[in-house]
Amino acid sequence: MDRVIHLNKIHHRSKERIRDLGEVFTPEHYVEEMLGLLSDNSDFSWSDEEIAFFEPCCGHGNIVLAILEKRLAAFFDKAIDFHLGEHAAYYALANAINTLWAIDIDTDNIFDCRSRIARRAVYFLCQNLSIGVTELRKKSKVYLAHLLCAIHWHVAENELLSALSGSAKEAQHNVQKIKLSDQWLSEHKHQAINFSKTWVDHFKCNQQKNVTPRLFNQAMKFIEQPQEKSMLFDFACSVLVDEKTAYTLNKELEGVQWSQI
């Protein structure tokens, strides 16, 4: 990924959240206008896999979800053009998630954002594969485990000024500019973001050492029993046990790789 697109937010929130987190809400039409500026750029394409999006203050995920929608549509059309058939949905979702990053200093915001992404992702698969959630869990367990790990990996609690700092010393210097940032860093260690190390890269690196990441094993266990409590993947619990979205199964699905990147 050669380019990382940073997006700032215009929000509205309660007086308490504005006071405590400096948080506001982005109306949908503002989001579309902002993203429309990208679409109007002749050098930009929503299906460009070399572009990564970074939302530094994701909140509940209004901008993140809008980006995800556009990326899913673009990658899906691209996959259809490549004649990937039933694998098109898997390809589109994997690429959309692997090129999307988001952080927020509020734990609840991260949970909400992850939950919304997970729900949209599962619905996208069910819709395009004409399959129900339970059947999806049975036939695509490995893929879903990677999906949950990728969401957990790419959408995380973090603080912008320190996250983009190259060292702990630099992070400490940068956060002093903002009281809330300084407080966050004092309670958490420096967590620099490496945009070149996606979940896919992390998994492949471990596989080369004949090691399966613990996070992946935990995700596999959760897929099998999503009703069980999991601090790591509770954000996906409701969608994986939700049978309201049901589709007619067309034919057996072959196993596919998580990412075609």
Tell me, yes or no, whether 184 lies in a domain: no
Tell me, yes or no, whether 65 lies in a domain: yes
- The pLDDT of 232-242, averaged and rounded, is 90
DSSP 8-state secondary structure symbol assigned to residue 243: -
Q: Is residue 14 classed exposed, middle or buried when 0-12, 13-18 and 19+ CB atoms within 10 A define those classes?
A: exposed
Local confidence band at 23 (pLDDT 50, 70, 90 cut-offs): low
Residue 211 in this model has a pLDDT that exceeds 90: yes
Tell me, yes or no, whether 177 lies in a domain: no
Domain that includes residue 150, residue range: 3-158+193-240
Tell me, yes or no, whether 163 lies in a domain: no
Tell me, yes or no, whether 164 lies in a domain: no
Q: Is 146 helix (H, G, I), strand (E, B) or coil?
A: helix
DSSP letters along 48-109, please?
Answer: -TTEEEEETT-TTSHHHHHHHHHHHHHHHHHHHHTT-GGGHHHHHHHHHHHTEEEEES-HHH
Residue 260 in this model has a pLDDT that exceeds 70: no
Q: Is residue 240 classed exposed, middle or buried when 0-12, 13-18 and 19+ CB atoms within 10 A define those classes?
A: buried
How many C-alpha atoms does 223 have within 13 Å on its Cβ side?
Answer: 24
Tell me, yes or no, whether 261 lies in a domain: no
Residue 197 in this model has a pLDDT that exceeds 80: yes
- Are residues 90 and 142 in contact, defined by beta-carbon separation less than 8 angstroms? no
Number of domains in the chain: 1
CA 120, 151, 202, 132: dihedral to nearest 10 degrees? -40
Local confidence band at 42 (pLDDT 50, 70, 90 cut-offs): confident
- Residues 192, 168: Cα–Cα separation, whole Å: 9
Q: pTM of the prediction?
A: 0.84
Tell me, yes or no, whether 23 lies in a domain: yes
Per-residue pLDDT at 241: 82
Residue 95 has which token pair? 């690429």
- Are residues 134 and 77 in contact, defined by beta-carbon separation less than 8 angstroms? no
99-134 pLDDT tens trace = 999 999 999 999 999 999 999 999 999 999 999 999
Lowest mean pLDDT among 173-182, 219-228, 250-259: 250-259
Local confidence band at 28 (pLDDT 50, 70, 90 cut-offs): confident
- Are residues 259 and 98 in contact, defined by beta-carbon separation less than 8 angstroms? yes
Tell me, yes or no, whether 150 lies in a domain: yes
Of the two residues 254 and 193, the one the predictor is more confident about is 193
- Residues 216, 142: Cα–Cα separation, whole Å: 9
Task: Indicate the average pLDDT of the chain.
Answer: 85
Of the two residues 250 and 190, the one the predictor is more confident about is 190
159-186 pLDDT tens trace = 999 999 989 999 999 889 888 888 988 9
- Residues 32, 30: Cα–Cα separation, whole Å: 5
Among 155, 174, 156, residue whose Cα is nearest residue 164: 174
